[in-house]
Structure 1
């Protein structure tokens, strides 16, 4: 089993909570454009809390969110997202890796909108802009296997690890955990192995669905003898029957039972199920990460983080 690794939390909702510029459709990209200092400070607070990996604030740097501005400024803004993360790491004085976020290109939770023909023109500026700052390529909130294969095909042969993070169907009960495309977690794990991923993660879904996903993924990884990281960074959204369209157009309510002590209990269950990597997505802030780091990392790590 790999040593436990602590990720950061969700940038978008944390920026919103801090009063940074934030609205739809720009989402977290607005803070990057109008208040980069707040973005840097938020990264720094996640590091201070104990995050060993921070994710660039590039999730909303796609035409879906910033419209025609992407064509003129997409690569420049992606580079800014990487640079702010790098500055936060340097300011912290700690050893922290930067994961370059490679987001859904056509809307979160929308595998039906993925367009392989149009995707490269959006992906290339995100990759070029973040390449000088990335330690890890993080393709996150993937709704389908096609999206995972796409990102693998676009990345340069630069030796940097690829992490794949899938979002799960959490609105309905299923006998086994499913991606939002309807594909299985077992298929996702098999795909991660085939693509040579260094980590398989599950994010931006409710905590309740993550445990079974970890169990199923661990079974596949063990069958292959894979040593890739396996982990979770769940969101704190209230369960609802809203459509995927609503998820891209409004701010979901944050549930009250994912405060730091309760989120720690979820993380402990994921680790017991076979995960080795934990963090948070939307609604999970530095205070959550501090509790994870204080309770899940060996005490000897405190002086080396």
Structure 2
């Protein structure tokens, strides 16, 4: 299904922030836990279903599983078998929500839902830094962790999710902060049989460098010779840098002769993080209508073609609703 949808160049709308929407609408204080949103896989799975449904009803074509920070090490209070079951349940929750939405949409129960094809599911896989719980996905500083340590981390998770590959339309390696981790993902994906279509998105510190300091162009080069990688771009990055970053991404792909590859773009809402209080400063975040207005510049940077566009931290269903209206009218 996902490859058929990608044969059309029109934009696809991704969902918005999972953890921040979970926290504000359904479940408090997730930022204080090592598992972040993945703690709801055992604490409150219905809340995860509700978040998926909220984004689908707002117009998302793609929803992301609640698995960004999930790992066996993160579920250390459970047996390894139970930890794997919880991780795999993130896929089941997303597909259940997708099927529930599609059933109600087909019956016309949600008249305000935008017209579209059956939504798609992306398996969300955060970087090694996500399990360190120290903001390392925004610096790429992994301390004493070696290339092999990070490779084993990513391989363990892919092995756990491999039985679910037929239930997802994409794998999303998200918030990758460095060229080294991009190279690790490249090395891993070259040896994954029956790998679903994959995108790799980077966290960036400014309009041309990823968080660790390497040029985005080098990071794009590192993974575009992997057949399963169908898209590359940026996420969890301040909106002020996005127009330049996705312009760079599109030009780089075109210069490499990869015009069929897609750009993926889902910035955060621009809220600052207070590391002392461990909370977002929401007064600095873009409201939903302003986020939607900015998105016009982002889709125009790629000529309104071959872009997967959504939101990350502190974006909400209202942000996605406004984004979709701006993109499709």
- Category of TM-score, reference length = shorter chain: 0.7 to 0.9
2:69 pairs, out of 60, 75, 99, with 60
- Report the alpha carbon displacement of residue 250 of structure 1 after superposing the two structures with TM: 2.5
- Report the alpha carbon displacement of residue 141 of structure 1 after superposing the two structures with TM: 0.3
Q: Which residue of 1 aligns with 2:168?
A: 134
- Report the alpha carbon displacement of residue 192 of structure 1 after superposing the two structures with TM: 3.5
Aligned positions of 1:1-305 closer than 5 A: 2-21=9-28, 22=30, 23-62=32-71, 66-67=75-76, 69=78, 71=80, 73-93=82-102, 95-107=118-130, 108-113=137-142, 115-131=146-162, 132=164, 133-155=167-189, 156-170=192-206, 177-196=208-227, 197-226=229-258, 227-239=260-272, 246=275, 250-274=278-302, 276-297=307-328
Change (3 A) 1:297 1:71: same
Gaps of 5+ in 2: 1-7, 103-116, 131-136
| CA–CA distance in structure 2, aligned partners of residues 102 and 138 of structure 1 | 6
| CA–CA distance in structure 1, aligned partners of residues 101 and 10 of structure 2 | 22
- Report the alpha carbon displacement of residue 68 of structure 1 after superposing the two structures with TM: 5.7
- Report the alpha carbon displacement of residue 283 of structure 1 after superposing the two structures with TM: 0.5
Q: What do you get for the CA RMSD once the two structures are aligned?
A: 2.5
Gaps of 5+ in 1: 171-175, 299-305
The number of aligned residues is 288
Structure 2 SS opposite 1:217: helix
- Report the alpha carbon displacement of residue 4 of structure 1 after superposing the two structures with TM: 0.9
- Report the alpha carbon displacement of residue 257 of structure 1 after superposing the two structures with TM: 4.9
Structure 2 SS opposite 1:281: coil
| 8 Å Cα contact 2:246-2:298 kept in structure 1 | yes
Which portions of structure 1, spanning 4 or more consecutive aligned residues, are displaced by more than 6 angstroms? none
Structure 1 SS opposite 2:300: helix
Change (3 A) 1:281 1:137: same
State the TM-score, normalized to the length of structure 2.
0.80
